[in-house]
Amino acid sequence: AQSVAQPEDQVNVAEGNPLTVKCTYSVSGNPYLFWYVQYPNRGLQFLLKYITGDNLVKGSYGFEAEFNKSQTSFHLKKPSALVSDSALYFCAVRDPNTGGFKTIFGAGTRLFVKA
Amino acid sequence: GAGVSQSPSNKVTEKGKDVELRCDPISGHTALYWYRQSLGQGLEFLIYFQGNSAPDKSGLPSDRFSAERTGGSVSTLTIQRTQQEDSAVYLCASALAGLNEQFFGPGTRLTVL
């Protein structure tokens, strides 16, 4: 069965500094990986995905993530954080070989960007 | 176009009562998901529907929970004999199968007194 872990409950970063939100996964086959963001009092929004191809994927709002098969990781990154990036971030994994369309979400990481 | 809509936005019920939560997916989306998000917690997968295939019910926490999707569109999540631990935000999402990313509704906040 697929699973995903976000080891940090919270990440604090100063505005203008680079940010990383960590995600590791476990699947039996090749994973489909996703990042979603939940802003305060707003619904969940898709940020980016890795399905196949280049390991570095770029998404909305200047975010990117790197798929690392050997480390089974898919960390979310941004070169320069903004206060408006403060939100709850979820990593998600799907194993199309065994799980069909079932998608498992991590527990979430709360990002605080301080001005 | 219209996004995913859910109703009601808030539901307060008494322990032991049944509740129905509704989800209207984006038109043409073949996949529909239900999740539960407890306060400050992650998303717990409940069930998904994909086209005419049998739904994956593996995330439903007990037989008090059930869901239907009529005509490949609207879905209803039913919780029978609600318990206080059922209190959470119930999120619905839909997706075009080929694109994989999910579009979420605003959720229904369920409070069981």
Name every residue in A having a CB less than 8 A away from some CB of B.
Answer: 6, 32, 34, 36, 43-46, 49, 51, 90, 92, 94, 100-108
Mean pLDDT computed over A30-41: 91
Quickly state the pLDDT bin for B89 (edges 50, 70, 90): very high
Q: What percent of chain A has pLDDT over 90?
A: 77
CA distance A74 to B8: 35
Question: Considering only A81-85, B15-19, B27-31, B82-86, which range has the smallest mean pLDDT?
Answer: B27-31
Q: What is the dihedral of CA B2, B59, B45, B83, to 10 degrees?
A: 90
Average pLDDT value over all residues in chain B: 92
DSSP states along A82-105:
-GGG-EEEEEEEE-TTTTTT-EEE
**Choosing among A42, A103, A105, A109, which should be mutated to test the B contact, i.e. which has the most B CBs within 10 A?**
A103
Q: Chain A residue closest to B106 (CA)?
A: A43
**Cβ B110 vs Cβ B89: under 8 Å:** yes
**Structure token digits, residue A103:** 């998608």
Mean pLDDT computed over B65-86: 94
DSSP states along A50-77:
E-SS-SEEE-GGG-EEEEETTTTEEEEE
- pLDDT tens track for A81-103: 999 999 999 999 988 777 678 88
Quickly state the pLDDT bin for B39 (edges 50, 70, 90): confident
Average pLDDT value over all residues in chain A: 93
Q: How many CB atoms lie within 10 A of CB B34?
A: 25
Query: Residue B1 pLDDT more than 60?
Result: no
Mean pLDDT computed over B96-111: 88
**Cβ B34 vs Cβ B88: under 8 Å:** no
Contacts of B44 in chain A (CB under 8 A): 105
Quickly state the pLDDT bin for A30 (edges 50, 70, 90): confident
Q: Name the residue facing A103 among B45, B91, B105 (closest C-beta).
A: B45
Chain A nearest C-alpha distance from B80 (Å): 24
A101–B35 CB contact, under 8 Å? no
B45–A104 CB contact, under 8 Å? yes
